[in-house]
A and B are shown apart, each in its own frame.
Chain A
Amino acid sequence: MNRVLWLWGILFALWLPLSNHFEPLFIGFGLATCTIAVVVGARMGIVDRESVPVHLVWRGIRYVPWLVWEIFKSNVRVARIILAPRVRVDPSIVHFEASQKTDLGRFIYANSITLTPGTVTTGIVGDDFEVHAIVQEEIDGSEENDMNRRVAVLEGEGG
């Protein structure tokens, strides 16, 4: 129930700046729309820990700045590869085991890997991640372990 209220709040907070109308009539439309969407979602049983992960918000706020910094660093590395007088790439597909326990944690980790240029998640089977890297060092380094550990902390105990 708590999660349903959270979803309603998030939807309305999203609707308000996107509509940019503050007359009572339009606000009423917004309230009604959010309510219908949440009621339908709740009746379908899709409002759960996975679809509305509000328990991750506080830890997520600490994770995002670190991720943005990682994205910046790997952008610079890939830009250097592309702009070098002779393009030297050594791409490979590597497999490794991720330490997240929940599907949501794996999803966040896989998306973080893909979001940092130079590495793309091409497949996940259980714990086994299949990642394509533009140069081997992108995936061998300690930064990948760091990200793995941080996402495991983010998802918390048992997700």
Chain B
Amino acid sequence: MDQVLSVLTWALLLSGAFFLVTGALGMVRLPDVFTRMHAAGMADTMGAGLILAGLCLYSGANLVTVRLVLILAFLWFTSPIATHALAKAALSGGTEPYTLGAGTDGEGEGGGAP
């Protein structure tokens, strides 16, 4: 039973880490602020979510788990608001969203080439 639990914990922690790393990679590879926000959203949702789920399994049924769930709930309530504020600020600041048709070499940002 302990074995199964620790394997599950590790699986959740590692897949959470995978989404965090992928989100970070997206910050580098995607072309503009709006598409990068989607990558950051991955780290907020699945990255943090899977890691906290893994920690919940690790700590078992006690108050620590309740607190971990609360952290996740607050994170999932607040992060979309922060993302929305960022998007709105970028739009009203006059940032032109990257589109496929409009040239790929504006402002030194390659069109997502590796």
Contact = CB atoms under 8 A, between A and B. Distances in A.
A17 B66 contact: yes
Interface stretch (A27-35, A47-55, A87-95, A148-156): A87-95
B30 interface: yes
A117 B112 contact: no
B45 A75 contact: yes
A120 B84 contact: yes
Given A86-B113, A86-B114, A122-B91, A111 B81 contact: yes
A66 to B, nearest CB: 14
Contacts of A86: 112-114
Nearest to A68: B49
Interface in A107-159: 110-111, 114-123, 132, 134
Contacts, number: 111
Interface residues of B, number: 40
Interface string B9-42: 0000000000100110110011110110111011
A89 B42 contact: no
A68 B76 CA distance: 10
A79 interface: yes
A82 B45 contact: no
Consensus secondary structure, chain A interface: mixed
B5 interface: no
Contacts of A119: 38
Given A20-B63, A114-B83, A117-B41, A71 B25 contact: no
B98 interface: yes
29 contacts: A71-B46, A75-B19, A75-B45, A75-B46, A78-B39, A79-B19, A82-B22, A87-B112, A88-B112, A90-B99, A91-B34, A91-B98, A91-B100, A111-B77, A114-B41, A114-B83, A115-B45, A115-B76, A115-B79, A115-B80, A117-B46, A118-B41, A120-B38, A120-B41, A120-B83, A120-B84, A122-B84, A132-B97, A134-B38
Given A18-B67, A91-B34, 7 more contacts: A68-B49, A82-B39, A91-B99, A93-B97, A111-B81, A120-B83, A122-B91
Interface of A: 14, 17-18, 20, 68, 71-72, 75, 78-79, 82-83, 85-93, 110-111, 114-123, 132, 134
